[in-house]
Protein backbone atom coordinates (compact mmCIF):
# COMPACT_ATOMS: atom_id res chain seq x y z
CA UNK A 1 0.00 0.00 0.00
CA UNK A 2 2.74 2.41 1.02
CA UNK A 3 4.48 1.80 -2.30
CA UNK A 4 1.38 2.72 -4.27
CA UNK A 5 0.84 5.85 -2.20
CA UNK A 6 4.50 6.68 -2.56
CA UNK A 7 4.48 6.32 -6.33
CA UNK A 8 1.36 8.49 -6.50
CA UNK A 9 2.84 11.08 -4.15
CA UNK A 10 6.13 11.14 -5.97
CA UNK A 11 4.50 11.58 -9.32
CA UNK A 12 2.25 14.32 -7.94
CA UNK A 13 5.34 15.98 -6.53
CA UNK A 14 7.37 15.49 -9.67
CA UNK A 15 4.52 16.86 -11.73
CA UNK A 16 4.06 19.76 -9.36
CA UNK A 17 7.69 20.67 -9.54
CA UNK A 18 7.07 22.06 -12.99
CA UNK A 19 4.66 24.56 -11.49
CA UNK A 20 5.76 24.65 -7.87
CA UNK A 21 7.15 22.35 -5.20
CA UNK A 22 3.94 22.17 -3.21
CA UNK A 23 2.83 19.35 -0.92
CA UNK A 24 6.00 17.38 -1.27
CA UNK A 25 6.08 16.15 2.30
CA UNK A 26 7.31 12.57 2.03
CA UNK A 27 8.35 11.57 5.55
CA UNK A 28 6.44 8.84 7.39
CA UNK A 29 5.64 10.51 10.72
CA UNK A 30 3.51 7.69 12.08
CA UNK A 31 4.82 4.52 10.49
CA UNK A 32 7.94 2.45 10.41
CA UNK A 33 10.35 4.38 8.19
CA UNK A 34 12.69 1.83 6.63
CA UNK A 35 16.10 2.29 5.03
CA UNK A 36 14.58 1.71 1.59
CA UNK A 37 11.82 4.29 2.18
CA UNK A 38 14.31 6.87 3.42
CA UNK A 39 16.64 6.15 0.54
CA UNK A 40 13.91 6.57 -2.03
CA UNK A 41 12.62 9.75 -0.33
CA UNK A 42 16.13 11.21 -0.52
CA UNK A 43 16.18 10.44 -4.26
CA UNK A 44 12.80 12.15 -4.66
CA UNK A 45 13.78 15.24 -2.66
CA UNK A 46 16.89 15.64 -4.81
CA UNK A 47 14.73 15.52 -7.95
CA UNK A 48 12.05 17.85 -6.56
CA UNK A 49 14.52 20.46 -5.28
CA UNK A 50 17.37 20.26 -7.81
CA UNK A 51 18.46 23.87 -7.36
CA UNK A 52 19.07 23.48 -3.61
CA UNK A 53 20.27 19.90 -3.18
CA UNK A 54 23.20 17.71 -4.01
CA UNK A 55 22.70 14.00 -3.26
CA UNK A 56 25.65 11.65 -3.06
CA UNK A 57 26.91 8.55 -1.27
CA UNK A 58 30.00 8.54 0.92
CA UNK A 59 30.46 4.82 0.22
CA UNK A 60 28.84 1.49 1.02
CA UNK A 61 28.15 -0.20 4.35
CA UNK A 62 29.57 -3.62 5.26
CA UNK A 63 26.58 -5.22 3.48
CA UNK A 64 26.91 -2.93 0.45
CA UNK A 65 24.23 -0.29 1.03
CA UNK A 66 25.04 3.31 0.13
CA UNK A 67 25.38 5.76 3.02
CA UNK A 68 23.62 8.68 1.40
CA UNK A 69 24.18 12.35 2.15
CA UNK A 70 22.26 15.38 0.92
CA UNK A 71 23.93 18.78 0.88
CA UNK A 72 21.62 21.78 0.89
CA UNK A 73 23.04 25.02 -0.37
CA UNK A 74 23.96 26.82 -3.54
CA UNK A 75 25.60 25.04 -6.48
CA UNK A 76 29.13 25.63 -5.28
CA UNK A 77 29.74 24.12 -1.82
CA UNK A 78 30.53 26.56 0.95
CA UNK A 79 33.44 26.09 3.30
CA UNK A 80 31.24 26.62 6.35
CA UNK A 81 28.75 23.88 7.13
CA UNK A 82 26.87 21.84 9.71
CA UNK A 83 26.31 18.08 9.58
CA UNK A 84 23.18 16.27 10.81
CA UNK A 85 23.53 12.52 11.35
CA UNK A 86 20.90 9.91 12.23
CA UNK A 87 20.79 6.22 13.06
CA UNK A 88 24.39 5.54 13.99
CA UNK A 89 22.64 3.23 16.43
CA UNK A 90 20.41 0.77 14.62
CA UNK A 91 17.32 0.58 16.80
CA UNK A 92 17.13 4.35 17.36
CA UNK A 93 14.99 4.99 14.29
CA UNK A 94 13.34 8.12 15.69
CA UNK A 95 16.70 9.71 14.87
CA UNK A 96 16.59 9.10 11.09
CA UNK A 97 12.95 10.17 11.06
CA UNK A 98 13.93 13.38 12.84
CA UNK A 99 16.75 14.20 10.40
CA UNK A 100 14.46 13.46 7.44
CA UNK A 101 11.60 15.54 8.82
CA UNK A 102 13.89 18.51 9.42
CA UNK A 103 15.39 18.15 5.92
CA UNK A 104 12.01 17.86 4.21
CA UNK A 105 10.40 20.79 6.06
CA UNK A 106 13.50 22.93 5.58
CA UNK A 107 13.25 22.36 1.81
CA UNK A 108 9.50 23.01 1.84
CA UNK A 109 10.10 26.41 3.34
CA UNK A 110 11.55 27.40 -0.05
CA UNK A 111 8.34 26.45 -1.84
CA UNK A 112 6.23 28.36 0.68
CA UNK A 113 4.57 25.19 1.95
CA UNK A 114 5.62 25.83 5.48
CA UNK A 115 6.75 28.90 7.36
CA UNK A 116 8.28 27.12 10.32
CA UNK A 117 11.79 27.73 9.04
CA UNK A 118 11.25 31.29 7.87
CA UNK A 119 14.97 32.10 7.88
CA UNK A 120 15.97 29.08 5.78
CA UNK A 121 17.23 31.20 2.88
CA UNK A 122 19.22 33.46 5.20
CA UNK A 123 20.96 30.44 6.75
CA UNK A 124 21.96 29.16 3.34
CA UNK A 125 23.65 32.46 2.54
CA UNK A 126 26.07 31.64 5.35
CA UNK A 127 26.41 27.84 5.60
CA UNK A 128 25.77 24.57 3.79
CA UNK A 129 23.79 21.87 5.56
CA UNK A 130 24.70 18.20 5.19
CA UNK A 131 22.20 15.47 6.10
CA UNK A 132 23.15 11.82 6.66
CA UNK A 133 19.87 10.31 7.89
CA UNK A 134 21.09 6.70 8.07
CA UNK A 135 24.71 6.26 9.10
CA UNK A 136 24.20 2.55 9.78
CA UNK A 137 22.00 1.07 7.01
CA UNK A 138 22.76 -2.59 7.83
CA UNK A 139 21.91 -2.13 11.50
CA UNK A 140 18.67 -0.32 10.71
CA UNK A 141 17.61 -3.15 8.41
CA UNK A 142 18.35 -5.68 11.16
CA UNK A 143 16.41 -3.68 13.77
CA UNK A 144 13.47 -3.53 11.37
CA UNK A 145 13.86 -7.25 10.59
CA UNK A 146 13.90 -6.11 7.00
CA UNK A 147 15.86 -9.01 5.54
CA UNK A 148 15.29 -8.12 1.89
CA UNK A 149 18.66 -7.96 0.09
CA UNK A 150 20.57 -9.19 3.14
CA UNK A 151 19.36 -12.81 3.20
CA UNK A 152 22.87 -14.07 2.53
CA UNK A 153 24.20 -12.39 5.68
CA UNK A 154 21.58 -13.94 7.94
CA UNK A 155 23.68 -16.93 9.06
CA UNK A 156 26.46 -14.53 10.16
CA UNK A 157 23.98 -12.19 11.84
CA UNK A 158 22.45 -15.07 13.77
CA UNK A 159 25.86 -15.99 15.20
CA UNK A 160 26.32 -12.54 16.76
CA UNK A 161 25.56 -12.29 20.48
CA UNK A 162 22.19 -10.62 20.99
CA UNK A 163 20.97 -8.85 24.14
CA UNK A 164 17.27 -8.91 23.25
CA UNK A 165 15.27 -9.28 20.04
CA UNK A 166 16.41 -7.89 16.68
CA UNK A 167 14.25 -4.81 17.29
CA UNK A 168 16.70 -3.85 20.06
CA UNK A 169 19.79 -4.20 17.82
CA UNK A 170 22.16 -1.24 18.18
CA UNK A 171 25.35 -2.27 16.35
CA UNK A 172 26.22 -2.44 12.66
CA UNK A 173 25.78 -5.61 10.58
CA UNK A 174 28.99 -7.13 11.94
CA UNK A 175 28.13 -6.58 15.60
CA UNK A 176 30.28 -3.48 16.19
CA UNK A 177 28.76 -0.53 18.04
CA UNK A 178 29.65 2.31 15.68
CA UNK A 179 29.40 5.02 18.31
CA UNK A 180 32.07 3.26 20.38
CA UNK A 181 34.34 2.80 17.39
CA UNK A 182 35.45 6.30 16.31
CA UNK A 183 39.16 6.98 16.60
CA UNK A 184 39.21 9.64 19.29
CA UNK A 185 42.28 8.36 21.10
CA UNK A 186 40.28 6.48 23.75
CA UNK A 187 39.86 3.08 22.09
CA UNK A 188 42.15 1.23 24.48
CA UNK A 189 40.40 2.51 27.62
CA UNK A 190 36.86 2.83 26.36
CA UNK A 191 34.59 0.57 28.38
CA UNK A 192 30.97 1.61 28.48
CA UNK A 193 28.40 0.15 30.90
CA UNK A 194 27.25 -2.42 28.35
CA UNK A 195 30.64 -3.26 26.89
CA UNK A 196 31.16 -6.62 25.21
CA UNK A 197 34.50 -8.19 24.30
CA UNK A 198 33.00 -9.97 21.30
CA UNK A 199 30.72 -8.87 18.42
CA UNK A 200 27.33 -8.17 19.93
CA UNK A 201 24.03 -6.38 19.24
CA UNK A 202 25.52 -3.57 21.37
CA UNK A 203 28.61 -2.55 23.30
CA UNK A 204 31.41 -4.09 21.17
CA UNK A 205 33.81 -1.33 20.14
CA UNK A 206 35.70 -3.41 17.58
CA UNK A 207 39.21 -4.86 17.72
CA UNK A 208 40.90 -1.59 16.79
CA UNK A 209 39.83 2.05 16.32
CA UNK A 210 37.58 2.67 13.29
CA UNK A 211 37.40 -1.00 12.37
CA UNK A 212 33.91 -0.81 10.73
CA UNK A 213 33.71 0.40 7.14
CA UNK A 214 30.92 2.79 8.16
CA UNK A 215 33.15 4.46 10.77
CA UNK A 216 36.01 4.82 8.29
CA UNK A 217 33.72 6.38 5.68
CA UNK A 218 32.19 8.84 8.12
CA UNK A 219 35.62 9.84 9.47
CA UNK A 220 36.88 10.42 5.93
CA UNK A 221 33.80 12.43 5.02
CA UNK A 222 34.07 14.63 8.11
CA UNK A 223 37.76 15.19 7.37
CA UNK A 224 36.77 16.41 3.90
CA UNK A 225 33.98 18.80 4.77
CA UNK A 226 35.09 19.86 8.29
CA UNK A 227 31.63 20.91 9.51
CA UNK A 228 31.77 23.65 12.13
CA UNK A 229 29.24 21.58 14.08
CA UNK A 230 28.13 17.94 13.89
CA UNK A 231 24.81 16.96 15.45
CA UNK A 232 24.41 13.23 15.86
CA UNK A 233 20.88 12.16 16.79
CA UNK A 234 20.13 9.22 19.08
CA UNK A 235 17.49 8.02 21.55
CA UNK A 236 16.67 8.20 24.50
CA UNK A 237 16.87 10.77 27.31
CA UNK A 238 15.63 14.19 26.15
CA UNK A 239 19.14 15.50 26.72
CA UNK A 240 22.27 16.55 24.86
CA UNK A 241 25.83 15.33 25.39
CA UNK A 242 27.56 18.51 24.33
CA UNK A 243 31.10 18.46 25.73
CA UNK A 244 33.79 16.17 27.10
CA UNK A 245 36.56 16.78 29.61
CA UNK A 246 39.35 16.28 27.09
CA UNK A 247 38.26 18.99 24.64
CA UNK A 248 35.74 21.30 26.36
CA UNK A 249 38.29 24.01 27.22
CA UNK A 250 39.19 24.54 23.55
CA UNK A 251 35.81 25.92 22.62
CA UNK A 252 36.10 29.12 24.68
CA UNK A 253 32.56 28.75 26.05
CA UNK A 254 30.84 28.64 22.65
CA UNK A 255 29.81 25.02 23.25
CA UNK A 256 28.22 26.08 26.56
CA UNK A 257 26.30 28.94 24.92
CA UNK A 258 24.95 26.68 22.16
CA UNK A 259 23.97 24.04 24.67
CA UNK A 260 22.17 26.54 26.91
CA UNK A 261 20.18 27.90 23.99
CA UNK A 262 19.32 24.40 22.75
CA UNK A 263 18.06 23.47 26.22
CA UNK A 264 15.93 26.61 26.36
CA UNK A 265 14.12 25.83 23.10
CA UNK A 266 13.60 22.12 23.89
CA UNK A 267 13.31 21.91 27.68
CA UNK A 268 15.78 19.04 27.52
CA UNK A 269 17.68 18.17 30.70
CA UNK A 270 21.10 19.65 31.36
CA UNK A 271 23.98 17.21 31.59
CA UNK A 272 27.50 18.05 32.80
CA UNK A 273 30.63 17.93 30.67
CA UNK A 274 31.23 14.20 30.13
CA UNK A 275 34.00 13.56 32.66
CA UNK A 276 35.45 10.15 31.88
CA UNK A 277 36.89 9.02 28.50
CA UNK A 278 36.41 5.41 29.60
CA UNK A 279 32.64 5.86 29.39
CA UNK A 280 32.07 8.60 26.82
CA UNK A 281 34.78 7.69 24.29
CA UNK A 282 34.45 6.50 20.73
CA UNK A 283 31.44 8.55 19.65
CA UNK A 284 31.24 10.61 16.46
CA UNK A 285 30.71 13.72 18.59
CA UNK A 286 33.89 12.96 20.56
CA UNK A 287 35.79 12.25 17.37
CA UNK A 288 35.05 15.59 15.67
CA UNK A 289 36.01 17.48 18.83
CA UNK A 290 39.21 15.50 19.41
CA UNK A 291 40.42 15.16 15.84
CA UNK A 292 39.56 18.57 14.40
CA UNK A 293 38.60 20.89 17.27
CA UNK A 294 35.10 21.13 15.78
CA UNK A 295 31.83 21.19 17.70
CA UNK A 296 29.99 17.90 18.15
CA UNK A 297 26.78 17.12 20.01
CA UNK A 298 24.92 13.89 20.66
CA UNK A 299 21.20 14.66 20.89
CA UNK A 300 19.21 12.00 22.71
CA UNK A 301 15.61 12.21 21.50
CA UNK A 302 12.55 11.04 23.51
CA UNK A 303 12.00 10.38 27.20
CA UNK A 304 14.67 8.25 28.89
CA UNK A 305 13.28 5.10 30.46
CA UNK A 306 16.41 2.91 30.43
CA UNK A 307 14.73 0.20 28.36
CA UNK A 308 16.20 -0.98 25.09
CA UNK A 309 12.76 -1.18 23.54
CA UNK A 310 11.97 1.90 21.45
CA UNK A 311 8.73 3.89 21.57
CA UNK A 312 6.04 3.25 18.90
CA UNK A 313 6.41 4.83 15.46
CA UNK A 314 3.15 6.74 15.75
CA UNK A 315 4.28 8.57 18.90
CA UNK A 316 7.16 10.33 17.13
CA UNK A 317 5.56 13.74 16.79
CA UNK A 318 4.46 13.86 20.38
CA UNK A 319 7.55 12.36 21.94
CA UNK A 320 10.19 13.91 19.70
CA UNK A 321 9.25 16.50 17.13
CA UNK A 322 7.20 18.83 19.28
CA UNK A 323 10.06 19.11 21.79
CA UNK A 324 13.14 19.03 19.59
CA UNK A 325 12.19 20.72 16.31
CA UNK A 326 13.92 24.00 17.15
CA UNK A 327 17.26 22.43 18.12
CA UNK A 328 18.71 22.23 14.57
CA UNK A 329 17.99 25.85 13.64
CA UNK A 330 19.12 27.07 17.05
CA UNK A 331 22.47 25.40 16.41
CA UNK A 332 22.62 26.79 12.85
CA UNK A 333 22.06 30.34 14.10
CA UNK A 334 24.64 30.02 16.86
CA UNK A 335 27.22 28.51 14.51
CA UNK A 336 26.66 31.37 12.05
CA UNK A 337 27.07 33.90 14.87
CA UNK A 338 30.34 32.35 16.08
CA UNK A 339 31.66 31.05 12.75
CA UNK A 340 34.78 33.23 12.66
CA UNK A 341 35.79 32.25 16.18
CA UNK A 342 35.03 28.56 15.54
CA UNK A 343 37.26 28.60 12.47
CA UNK A 344 40.11 30.17 14.41
CA UNK A 345 39.70 27.56 17.16
CA UNK A 346 39.71 24.65 14.73
CA UNK A 347 42.61 26.04 12.68
CA UNK A 348 44.90 26.38 15.68
CA UNK A 349 43.67 23.20 17.39
CA UNK A 350 46.26 20.54 18.06
CA UNK A 351 45.44 17.13 19.47
CA UNK A 352 47.07 16.07 22.67
Which residues make up the interface to Zn ion (CB under 5 A)?
A: 89, 92, 234
- Given the complex with Zn ion, which of 52 and 89 has the nearer CB atom? 89
Taking the complex as a whole, the smallest distance from the CB of residue 178 to Zn ion amounts, in Å, to: 9
Q: Are 243 and 255 in contact (CB under 8 A)?
A: yes
Q: Are 233 and 327 in contact (CB under 8 A)?
A: no
Least spacing, CB of residue 91 vs Zn ion, in Å: 8
To Zn ion, the closest distance from the beta carbon of 176 in angstroms equals 14
For residues 54 and 168, which CB has a smaller minimum distance to Zn ion in the complex?
168
Task: Please report how close the Cβ of residue 234 comes to Zn ion at its closest, in angstroms.
Answer: 3
Residue 324 to residue 319: CA distance in whole angstroms: 9
For Zn ion, the closer CB: 123 or 311: 311
**Minimum CB–partner distance for residue 262 and Zn ion (Å):** 18
Identify which of residues 21 and 95 has a Cβ nearer to Zn ion in the complex.
95
* DSSP assigned state of 103: H
Name the residue nearer to Zn ion (CB basis): 52 or 236: 236
HEC readout, 113-160: CCCCCCCHHHHHHHCEEEEECCCCHHHHHHHCCCCCCCHHHHHHHHHC
- Cβ closer to Zn ion: 10 or 201? 201
In whole angstroms, what separates CA 146 from the centre of its chain?
21
3-state per-residue secondary structure call for 26-55: CCCCCCCCCHHHHHHHHHHHHHHCCCCEEE
Of 180, 105, 102, 169, which Cα lies nearest the Cα of 137?
169
Structural contact between residues 230 and 285, judged by C-beta atoms closer than 8 angstroms: yes
CB of 179 to Zn ion, least distance (A): 6
Q: Are the CB atoms for 211 and 176 separated by under 8 Å?
A: yes
Q: Is the dihedral of CA 315, 318, 320, 325 positive or negative?
A: positive
Amino acid sequence: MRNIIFILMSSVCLFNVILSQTNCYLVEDNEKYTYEMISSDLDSLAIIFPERTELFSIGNSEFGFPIKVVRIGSKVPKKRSLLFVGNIHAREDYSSKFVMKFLNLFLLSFSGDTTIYSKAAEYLNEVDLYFMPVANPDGLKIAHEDWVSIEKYLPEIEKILRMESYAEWKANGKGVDLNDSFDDGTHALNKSYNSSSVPCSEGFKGNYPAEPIETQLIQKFVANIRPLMTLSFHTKGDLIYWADSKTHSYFEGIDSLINEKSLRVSNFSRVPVSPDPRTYGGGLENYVRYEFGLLGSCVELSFGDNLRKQFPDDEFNNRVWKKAWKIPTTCIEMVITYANQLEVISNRYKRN
